[in-house]
Amino acid sequence: MLIVGAGPAGSTTARYCAGKDLDVLLIDRRNEIGYPVQCGEFLPDAKEMYSMFPKTMDLEELFRLENKCVAGESDYIDLISPKGKVYRCDFVGSTLDRRVFDKHLVKLAVEAGARLETKTSFLSMSDGIARTTMGDIEAKVIVGADGPNSRTARQAGLRNPEERYPAVTCQTTVKFEPTIKMYFGGLAPGGYAWVIPKRNGANVGMGFNPKLINERPRVLFDRFVAKLGIDHSDVTMGFVPQSGPLDRTVIGSTLLVGDAAGHVMPTNGGGIPLAMIAGRIAGQTVREHLKNGVSLMEYERRWKTVLGKPLANSLRTRKLGDIFFPTDRRTEFAMAVLGKRGLARAIKCRKVFYLM
């Protein structure tokens, strides 16, 4: 079995598939696992995830963290309107040190029996042979965990997520109160800017709807950072899937997981917990496939049972936001109409209106 990409999705897939009786190879093109950081680094508490995705199971075991992986904790999210009105919502979670956390997940996979090769890129595949920069690899199953622009997906005949929002992030040593800040309006058109606190600083970033921006993302990002008045480092840019999960994530002996499959919450951009949930499902299903002949289509059925409905709610809400949030005036009005309760429901992948 070959897994392309050693982020949370790929590493978790490897962990739950590997064993002495199966050969599981995990490859990643980066020199260092977990770096550069291209996300907000936030992991909701297991109780929050049970509330959002009630059909999940054993999240305490899946999300168990070593102390070194945790860079901060928070109990609230402040949703901030264009005019500065704050809607504070309860939301418990941890800010991760992704550089440490991703290495921890890989370590768990290797301890379970997987092999890891870094500085290795996936190039193409045909007839069960994957061509990589380390040579040809024969694999009975290939898992694409290589992000929203997944080459694995395209080579297999699957598509990438249609909407991929650019996001820019950085690190700062400036300390903030232990509450996540999400800023809406023209400073991040069609998306939001964030400050996710750490004990010794914060992860600061913003994501945008590419259809609504007429400036380069970095220009908007620099303007936001200047507004905060902070020194910063490690600026990176990536893309976040925002069109909901793909309808089809399995074809032949190839399956997709994590960002490659669109496993991201459209209303808040959160992908780490979903990557791990889907990764565990993928690993267990592939193992059953290789050992007992279970169809790989079971993976798709299983993740849709667990993640499908909440993600559909989240996507519906994000599309409503595209209608009501294009200008600061409309954004201010929409946030006032939704209020704290409606906004909290949106962030937590629930229907914002009961009749939707």
Peptide bond into 44 cis (omega under 30): no
Question: Residue 5 corresponds to which tokens in the numbers above?
Answer: 């990409």
- Per-residue pLDDT tens for 159-189? 999 999 999 999 999 999 999 999 998 889 8
The DSSP bridge partners found for residue 74 are 93
Total-model pTM: 0.94
Confidence (pLDDT) at 121? 97
DSSP 102: H
The whole-chain average pLDDT of the chain stands at: 93
- Per-residue pLDDT tens for 78-132? 999 999 999 999 999 999 999 999 999 999 999 999 999 999 999 999 988 999 9
The whole-angstrom separation of Cα 219 and Cα 234 is: 16
Q: Per-residue DSSP letters for 281-321?
A: HHHHHHHHHHHH---THHHHHHHHHHHHHHHHHHHHHHHHH
Q: What structural domains and CATH numbers belong to the chain?
A: 2-347 (3.50.50.60)
Burial class (CB within 10 angstroms; exposed 0-12, middle 13-18, buried 19+) of 26: buried
- Per-residue pLDDT tens for 119-132? 999 999 998 899 99
CA distances from 15 to 60, 192, 207, 237 (A): 16, 34, 31, 28
Question: Residue 255 corresponds to which tokens in the numbers above?
Answer: 């399956």
The whole-angstrom separation of Cα 257 and Cα 112 is: 19
Cα three-residue angle 332-265-121, rounded to 5 degrees: 130
